[in-house]
């Protein structure tokens, strides 16, 4: 899988501070995290395709995920092999329901903090933030399927889909979202910079996690 394809497969939230983690019991740092994968810093080299268990704690509970390495890069090489530090992007391939639920709670908490910080900024787009909050709360799971919205040639196109994958030129939300909220979200996406668009995709992806398959 190409690097760009891997980035489009899932959205990751850049953590304000790294979280202490472990890779098969060895110390690591969790730098970014998403509902489907993470970006970690660790010692040594790991080849793409390698599987390992990533563990970290949140609110006193340990979360464990079986991961597959999508890509890895040595960022601080050294003559001493023991001091090599790498950054690896990983996909979650298996986890307990409890770990998945706690991960969603953790990400929702961090997204709320981001939205609160934006609200504290007088120049913030408060209408956009309100819509993002509404989308983030919409994990009701009362409908099946998704709607994918893509901004192409300055026009919005949408289609029903069975995949929650977030496109690079728009977003995917549950089919049960309110039409008026979607219109506002499209307008917010058009006005947003790249960071804002990534946040919209992240919140949209969180909202898709409870949809019935």
Distance CA 75, CA 85 (A): 6
pLDDT 10s digits, 135-187 = 545 444 445 688 999 999 989 999 999 888 889 999 998 887 677 778 888 88
For residues 37 and 206, the model is more confident at 37
pTM of the model: 0.67
Residue 64 pLDDT level (bands cut at 50, 70, 90): very high
Is the pLDDT at 59 greater than 50? The verdict is: yes
- High-pLDDT (> 70) share of the chain, %: 76
The C-alpha angle 23, 29, 35, rounded to 5 degrees, equals 80
d(CA 87, CA 71): 8
Residue range 121-130: average pLDDT?
54
The pLDDT tens digits of the residues spanning 4-45 come to 334 445 677 888 889 999 999 999 999 999 888 999 999 988
Domains and CATH numbers, the chain: 3-96 (2.40.10.220), 125-208 (no CATH)
pLDDT tens for each residue of 173-190: 888 767 777 888 888 888
The encoded tokens of residue 161 equal 């889909």
Distance CA 87, CA 97 (A): 27
List % helix, strand, coil for the chain (3-state, nearest 5). Answer: 35, 40, 30
Our CA dihedral for 53, 92, 65, 63, rounded to 10 degrees, sits at 140
Give the tokens for residue 153.
């040639």
Q: Give the DSSP letter string of 116-168.
A: HHHHTSTTS-HHHHHHHHHHHT-----SB-EEEEEEETTEEEEEEES--PPPT
Longest dimension (CA), the chain: 59
């Amino acid at each position: 899988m190409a690097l760009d394809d891997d980035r489009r497969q899932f959205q990751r939230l850049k953590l304000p501070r790294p979280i202490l983690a472990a890779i098969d019991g060895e110390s690591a740092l969790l730098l970014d995290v998403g509902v489907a994968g993470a970006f970690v810093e660790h010692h040594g080299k790991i080849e793409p395709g390698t599987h390992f268990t990533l563990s970290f704690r949140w609110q006193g509970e340990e979360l464990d995920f079986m991961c597959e390495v999508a890509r890895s890069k040595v960022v601080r090489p050294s003559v001493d092999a023991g001091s090599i530090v790498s950054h690896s992007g990983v996909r979650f391939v298996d986890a307990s329901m409890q770990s998945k639920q706690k991960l969603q709670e953790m990400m929702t908490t961090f997204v709320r903090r981001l939205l609160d910080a934006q609200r504290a900024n007088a120049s913030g787009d408060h209408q956009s933030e309100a819509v993002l909050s509404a989308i983030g709360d919409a994990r009701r799971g009362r409908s099946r399927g998704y709607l994918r919205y893509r901004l192409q040639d300055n026009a919005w196109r949408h289609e029903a889909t069975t995949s929650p994958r977030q496109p690079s030129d728009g977003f995917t939300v549950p089919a049960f979202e309110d039409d008026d909220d979607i219109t506002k979200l499209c307008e917010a996406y058009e006005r947003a910079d790249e960071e804002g668009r990534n946040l919209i995709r992240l919140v949209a992806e969180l909202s898709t996690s409870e949809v019935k398959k």
